[in-house]
A = this chain, B = another copy of it.
């Protein structure tokens, strides 16, 4: 099988190298990854400028390309201009930092996986709860291998799009997997305000994560308790439960 590996941290990130190493055990890997960090790019696509594709040698004999675009662009271009067909599986990550709860919506890693799913390509996004550029991915690699193995052997392809988050623990200390829902949460922003040498103000995004969800069936809860969180993802944003009531107002 052909496995497309992408991410949002860029082709040079430790996390994508770790993912490629595991992915190779399951098929023919091709890497198509952004040429610069694309964290927080969500489901952005490049529409107002052209995109460059460049072959790279960072993954030894594995065919690999860097793209001057977003994670979603990587999936689209991989299919249309590099593979010229859909891959059998798309793996995104391993992200440096978590993509659980509300973070899924800002995440380039997960948006690449979502884009694959929109295009009928089975997909899994992996994230490790460690933002460090030189994070240790060895335990995460074992988790990734377990998850891919189950995904393939249990016939989950084309059925499930998965968001997998891995706690920052040794493999022995990880308690297992929890299938869970996305916790209701938000970021409370506090932009840093600074001045340029010429006195013009500028702002850096920072913020505090707020978990608004006391449920024990959420990804935040699972991760806090030492489990790998596995959330099945969908991309229909319709609030189906509101359709009837809202119809009464507008029709």
**Residues of A participating in the B interface, judged by any CB pair closer than 8 Å:** 37, 39-48, 50-53, 70, 72-73, 76-77, 79-81, 102, 104-106, 111, 114, 118-119, 147, 150, 154, 156, 159-161, 163, 176-182, 184, 186, 189-191, 193-194, 200-205, 230-240, 242-243, 246-247, 249-251
- B238–A53 CB distance below 8 A: no
**A119 CB contact (under 8 Å) in B81, B186, B242, B247:** B186
Contact of A42 among B44, B160, B194, B247 (CB under 8 A): B44
Taking a contact as CB atoms under 8 Å apart, the answer to whether A232 and B242 are in contact is yes
User: Which B residues are in CB contact (< 8 Å) with A76?
Assistant: 189, 191, 205
Known contacts: A177-B251, A202-B52, A205-B46. The answer to whether A238 contacts B230 by CB under 8 A is: no
CB-based contact B39/A48 at 8 Å: yes
**CB distance A232 to B236 under 8 Å?**
no
Query: What residue in chain B is nearest A67 (Cβ atoms)?
Result: B203
A-B contact list, 21 entries, CB within 8 Å = A40-B44, A41-B44, A42-B43, A42-B45, A42-B111, A43-B111, A44-B106, A45-B106, A50-B194, A50-B203, A50-B204, A51-B203, A73-B205, A77-B191, A156-B246, A161-B239, A179-B247, A182-B238, A230-B246, A232-B239, A232-B243
* Number of this chain's copies in the complex: 2
A102 to B238, CA, bound (A): 10
B51 engages A193 (CB within 8 Å): no
What is the CB-to-nearest-CB distance from A175 to chain B, in angstroms, rounded to a whole number? 11
- Structural contact, A238 and B234, CB atoms closer than 8 A: yes
Contacts of A47 in B (CB 8 A): 39-40, 205
Q: Which one of B39, B44, B150 contacts A249 once the chains associate, using CB atoms below 8 Å?
A: B150
Chain B residues whose C-beta falls within 8 Å of the C-beta of A250 in the assembled complex:
147, 150, 177-179, 230
On chain B, the residues within 8 Å of A53 by CB distance are 201, 203
- Chain B residues within 8 Å of A81, by CB: 191, 193, 203
Shortest CB distance A145–B (Å): 14
In angstroms, Cα B247 to Cα A178, docked, is: 7
